[in-house]
Amino acid sequence: MRTLFLVIVLSLSIMTSTSHDLKSTTGNILKLLASSGIVESILLYSTTGLNSRYSYTYDSDGNILGTLNEKWLDGQWINNERFTDAFDANRKMTSRIYDLWQNDQWVSNSKFTYTNDDHGNMLSLFVEKWVSGDKVNNYRYTYTYDSNGNQLTNHAEKWQNDQWVSNSRYTYGYNNQNKMISTITELWQSNQWMVNSRITYTINEKGNTITYLSELWQSGQWVNSNRISYSYALDNNLISDLSEIWKTDQWVNSSRTSITYNNIGKQLTNIFELWQNDQWVNYYRSTTSYNSEGFAVTLLREGWTNNQWTNSIGYMKFQDAMGRSFGYTGNKMEVTYQGTSPVNEDLRINGLTINCSPNPATDLSNIHYSVSEPGFVSISITNSLGIECSKIISNQFHALGTYSINYDVGNLTPGVYFLILKSGNYTETKKLAIIR
């Protein structure tokens, strides 16, 4: 199956200097600055630090007209690539031009031309490439639909020897809920269509996919390949899946995913495990934090190494207020939305800050702290001998920003203590006196 996916890897600019929701034991909350939900920029990080930035321009209808990607090299932003898009009156894309920055100038790389019907369904996609300064045909895709707007076929062709040659064809089936229940893939081989594979889905009464079965056409019959089972919460959010492969005439565990959500149904964590040596082993996890409007502000990717989570590289994505997906491969992503403020650069440089008031304290103390980059945060109180007396926050994920919680120190005897804030490789300490 060789469908051309045009993934806009949306990147970053300057992060918001805002306060993020965090409930303490007394329920105190600091809220983020309001944001529009329209992405202004995205900063991408590798495991070694800042890597690239994507910035976006829009028309009055909210369509992304321009996407600029820059690389962070030797302390400055350097042009890397850009997309220039056009849309029709129905907000459907009609063209895209992809350019690369080479030898201090923009050089055209490829052009995508789309046609759509009156209902907004894409009828065709035509891909051209620039080769030695000349624009030449590359791929084209043709789509058909039923009366309900469900895509029935996808015919892919490639330009070869100065003519269009069929490459692959996909045929889709639907149930009476207009949910896809089958996909058949055919490849063009020896001047004829050859069946290659099929996928069958089962759908529950709520319209959720509960099973996925992939089969290969081999020696004139269908042979199992892999299957996936899905589980959902009462609110229809996907909470887990189990993937199995067909091996020696039986289904064998392959991988599984577990997903958690916040109280408004936004995904917080995605943990992926592999089945190895007859047990489940962590492989990667993705963690997302949100602002008070429910828009993603930080995504973090980690891998399981030496029995602990460490920074790693992987693909992550989120959606903006208009339902557009922004995807990238990296270790960390920070998102800035239109209408929010840039990050405090001193916070980036200084790492962590923590303070409390009143100090000395008698019972209730307000602890306010800042983190310079997304990560897992712990706050504890130790006595003058370094013995931990209280754990306030234990390994909770935080986005970049400033936080505040109230904490009751009334159970501690009078004396001198230390607030210990830890995040990543940073540690910050603040002396706290308790009196009666």
pLDDT over 60 at 97, yes or no: yes
346-434 belongs to which homologous superfamily?
Macroglobulin (MG2) domain (2.60.40.1930)
Rounded Cα–Cα distance for residues 419 and 379 (Å): 7
pLDDT in tens, 348-406: 334 578 888 888 888 888 888 888 677 788 899 998 788 888 889 888 877 767 788 88
Rounded Cα–Cα distance for residues 37 and 41 (Å): 12
User: In terms of Cα–Cα distance, which of 405, 373, 401 is closest to 391?
Assistant: 405
Whether the CA torsion 421, 422, 426, 427 is positive or negative: it is: positive
Element (H, E) at 425: none
- What do you get for the CA distance between the two ends of the chain, in Å? 72
Q: What is the pLDDT of residue 360?
A: 86
pLDDT over 60 at 7, yes or no: no
Name, in order, each residue with C-beta under 8 angstroms of 263's C-beta and a sequence gap of 6 or more. none
Q: Where in the chain is the domain with CATH 2.40.128.720?
A: 39-342
Beta strands in 338-425 (DSSP E): 352-357, 364-371, 375-383, 388-398, 401-408, 415-423
Q: Where in the chain is the domain with CATH 2.60.40.1930?
A: 346-434
Question: How many beta carbons lie within 10 A of that of residue 218, not counting itself?
Answer: 11
What pTM was estimated for this model as a whole?
0.69
Topology (CATH level 3) of domain 39-342: Lipocalin (2.40.128)
pLDDT in tens, 261-305: 988 888 999 999 999 999 999 999 999 999 878 889 999 999 999
pLDDT over 60 at 238, yes or no: yes
